[in-house]
Amino acid sequence: MSESTAAAPRRGLSLDVYAVMLALLLALLVRFNLIPPIKW
């Protein structure tokens, strides 16, 4: 339940930005074949 702490809103915003950055980085790595195909 740590989300209810006062520091959470600031962390929530930066969390979004970091998540987007990671996803875009992975998308670029896939696009330029810098990582092998991902299997499920």
Footprint on this chain of another protein (rule: CB under 8 A)? 1-6, 8-9, 12-13, 15-20, 22-24, 26-27, 30-31, 37-40
Q: Are 29 and 35 in contact (CB under 8 A)?
A: yes
Cα(22)–Cα(15) distance, rounded to whole angstroms? 11
Minimum CB–partner distance for residue 11 and another protein (Å): 9
Minimum CB–partner distance for residue 31 and another protein (Å): 6
Phi, psi of 2 (to 5 degrees): -65, -15
Minimum CB–partner distance for residue 20 and another protein (Å): 3
